[in-house]
Amino acid sequence: MGIFSAIKDAIFGKDEEPAADPASKAGASIGAGITPEGKAAAKAASKEAAPAAMSGVDVEARLDAMPGADKLNWRTSIVDLMKLVGIDSSFENRKELAHELGDADYSGKAEENVVLHKQVMNALAQNGGVVPAKLLD
């Protein structure tokens, strides 16, 4: 599973067949590099997403509802966004995310991180998320 997929799944929940315990499935399905806090956030997001369709997910509301959202600048920082959803925000993971979204020359500069954050928000919107215009390009 790619980094973007892990971000999307943490926010939207997994689009899988219903399970007896969707919370346990969400924690187990998110890829490597996920922190315990992120697994808890993904479980919470998955519980909320389970009855809802994968489109029309209010991205801002979901992220705001995650534990620790009030302490992180996830609206503008890709590092904080990744931390919030429980993904290791290392350079390697940000570089992999940038490559997934089409930037083969990512070097980790601050300007590139701003662009990467906007690319993630745009990709979430393209995948059925409702993202406020202020978070898009």
Distance CA 41, CA 63 (A): 9
Structure tokens at 109: 């500069």
Q: By the 8 A CB rule, do 76 and 114 touch?
A: yes
Structure tokens at 31: 């890829």
Distance CA 11, CA 47 (A): 11
pTM: 0.72
pLDDT bucket at 135, cuts 50 / 70 / 90: very high
| Tens-digit pLDDT profile for residues 28-71 | 444 455 655 555 555 554 444 444 445 689 999 999 999 999 99
